[in-house]
Amino acid sequence: MKREQFSSSLGFVLAAAGSAVGIGNLVAFPVMASKNGGAAFLIMYAFFVFFICLPVMLAEMSLGRHTRQNPLGAYTEIGQNRAWRTVGWMSVITPFMIGVFYLVITVWIFGYLAKSVMGQLNELAAPDSFGVFINSNELFIYMAVVIGLTFLILQGGVKQGIEKASRILMPMLFIMLIALVIYVMTLDNAMLGVKFFLIPEFDKLTGKVLNGALAQAFFSLSLAMGILITYGSYIQKNNNIVHAGKMVAGLSVLVACCSGLLILPAVFSFNPDIQLSELSESSIGMIFMFLPKIFLALQADIGYFGASFIASFFFLLVFFAALTSLVSIIEVPVCSLMDGKGVSRRAALYTLGGAMIVLSVISALSFGRVELFSNLLSYGGLDKSFFDVVYDIFYETILPLNGFLLCLFVIYRWKKHNLDAEISQGNSTFAGSVLQKYVNFSLGTFIPLILAVIFVNTVSTIFFGKNLLF
């Protein structure tokens, strides 16, 4: 069977940007930036994106396009031994498991969207509403809808499914984001939020903050999850990988900045005297507990209907972002199963979908409903739920490990000259350029080193309760 392809470089850029732009850019980034030095954080974040993440991104895309394979196939074909094949397996299982927790969060977002549309914003803004919602039965209806939509997109394949959805959803997402930014700027005290976001405070950039910024950049660009290897395997040979990679990285940073200009002005117009400590710790707290209150407060100006409209608009925006990310992450195991076993897309979707539904239901039940799942394990001095365990193992721990192994694989196993040759196809100026030297050097030296340090420190912090670095 001929491998499916994106119709053009733009098709790939939109699909990869769809993967990159997610809850991370829209919510986690503004929360982190506002707490950790504003523009100073932004500058460091952009620096990490272009100097550390971009080379990894180019490596993944090239590996995919060269082998025309999913990550497991790519590691197996070039690695030629059992150890590398195991790494290939990790690159397929990781996105599958991250997909499980990302699906649960996407379902929550969809639920909040549905409830705002149905006029229940006042309920969402009530103090215990989130806790009640995540343990409600209606959650499973929302889960069915989200899974249905994701399947529908993936069933369409690369061009008619993934690319088409991205071509529709991504431009809408950009327009909605800009419209919301313009709207919040008209609110009283919005400028306080802009100032808060944009005034740099370099003394806040501690080692811990920098580690957080790098982890955020890495996650946000969908690295080390096999996504860019898989999407890379659908890129045409004459497309310019460097150009496409820069576009995706740039779009991701741009959306993160715009989102800061949306969320912080909204927070400050709600309460101009807000203190740093009152800003929610996590993006989950921000989206599901803090923002509904802010939206509801808008009713003083624009009435309940207006406030519900703005809330729905915002949740729709986040939902689009999350859906395209979810699609990209599930495509990895789907593609692996299709390549590896020669089964049809539909069969792969049903098999993996079934397993994913079971695990997602278990995750959804692990917030207090079922004792076994809610207190699954205890490590690092804390009790952990099934959801926490999946998050800690796959997102926090294996992601940097996969990144580390990928760098070693590309530079020392596949070899630099093969990487260069692949990137040079469709880019005649790459060979001999400063970028080429930088990519080769960084991927073989300090990038894997940094990822290895993060990995070791994460294991020690999470599982043994001892932070070695900070």
Q: Which part of the chain contacts ligand PHE (CB under 6 A), choosing from 16-24, 156-164, 278-286, 302-310? A: 16-24
Residue 329 binds to ligand PHE (criterion: CB under 6 A): yes
Q: Which C-beta is closer to ligand PHE: that of 24 or that of 260?
A: 24
Answer for which of 45, 110, 218, 219 binds ligand PHE (CB under 6 A) is 219
* Contacts (CB under 6 A) with ligand PHE, residues 75-134: 98, 102
Both tokens of 437, joined, read 């030297």
Residue 263 binds to ligand PHE (criterion: CB under 6 A): no
CB atoms within 10 A of CB 204: 13
CB of 234 to ligand PHE, least distance (A): 16
Q: Which C-beta is closer to ligand PHE: that of 230 or that of 424?
A: 230
Q: Which C-beta is closer to ligand PHE: that of 22 or that of 260?
A: 22
Q: Which part of the chain contacts ligand PHE (CB under 6 A), choosing from 44-52, 324-332, 356-364, 396-404? A: 324-332
Answer for which of 69, 166, 222, 233 binds ligand PHE (CB under 6 A) is 222
Size of the site for ligand PHE (CB under 6 A): 15
Q: Which part of the chain contacts ligand PHE (CB under 6 A), choosing from 124-132, 215-223, 333-341, 360-368? A: 215-223
Q: State the sign of the Cα–Cα–Cα–Cα dihedral 67, 328, 55, 462.
A: negative
Residue 25 binds to ligand PHE (criterion: CB under 6 A): yes
Question: Residue 383 belongs to what H/E stretch?
Answer: strand 382-384
Residue 325 binds to ligand PHE (criterion: CB under 6 A): yes
Nearest to 364 by CA among 145, 67, 101, 149: 101
Residue 74 binds to ligand PHE (criterion: CB under 6 A): no
Residue 62 binds to ligand PHE (criterion: CB under 6 A): no
Longest dimension (CA), the chain: 65
Q: Which C-beta is closer to ligand PHE: that of 256 or that of 337?
A: 256
CB of 115 to ligand PHE, least distance (A): 22
Strand, helix or coil for residue 194: helix
Cβ contacts of 12 within 8 Å, gap of 6 or more: 6, 231, 234, 235, 239, 244
Both tokens of 165, joined, read 């959805």
CB of 369 to ligand PHE, least distance (A): 24
Give the CA distances from residue 75 to residues 13, 336, 407, 411, in Å, rounded to whole numbers and listed in that order.
24, 12, 12, 13
Amino acid at the residue 105: I
Both tokens of 85, joined, read 């094949």
Residue 24 binds to ligand PHE (criterion: CB under 6 A): yes
Residue 330 binds to ligand PHE (criterion: CB under 6 A): no
Q: Which C-beta is closer to ligand PHE: that of 72 or that of 104?
A: 104
Are residues 461 and 207 in contact, defined by beta-carbon separation less than 8 angstroms? no
Q: Which C-beta is closer to ligand PHE: that of 17 or that of 267?
A: 17
Residue 328 binds to ligand PHE (criterion: CB under 6 A): yes
Residue 22 binds to ligand PHE (criterion: CB under 6 A): yes
* Contacts (CB under 6 A) with ligand PHE, residues 127-186: none
Residue 223 binds to ligand PHE (criterion: CB under 6 A): no
Q: State the sign of the Cα–Cα–Cα–Cα dihedral 326, 355, 105, 123.
A: positive
Both tokens of 414, joined, read 């596949």
Residue 23 binds to ligand PHE (criterion: CB under 6 A): yes
* Contacts (CB under 6 A) with ligand PHE, residues 392-451: none
Cβ contacts of 357 within 8 Å, gap of 6 or more: 143, 147
CB of 228 to ligand PHE, least distance (A): 10
> What is the gyration radius of the CA atoms in the chain, in angstroms?
22
Strand, helix or coil for residue 136: coil
Cβ contacts of 228 within 8 Å, gap of 6 or more: 16, 19, 57, 60, 61, 64, 222
Both tokens of 230, joined, read 């898989």
CB of 261 to ligand PHE, least distance (A): 17
CA pair distance 373, 350, nearest whole angstrom: 25
CA pair distance 67, 359, nearest whole angstrom: 31
Burial class (CB within 10 angstroms; exposed 0-12, middle 13-18, buried 19+) of 39? middle
Residue 19 binds to ligand PHE (criterion: CB under 6 A): yes
Q: Which C-beta is closer to ligand PHE: that of 23 or that of 78?
A: 23
Q: Which C-beta is closer to ligand PHE: that of 184 or that of 248?
A: 248
Strands 377-379 and 382-384: antiparallel
Residues that bind ligand PHE (CB under 6 A): 19-20, 22-25, 98, 102, 219-220, 222, 227, 325, 328-329
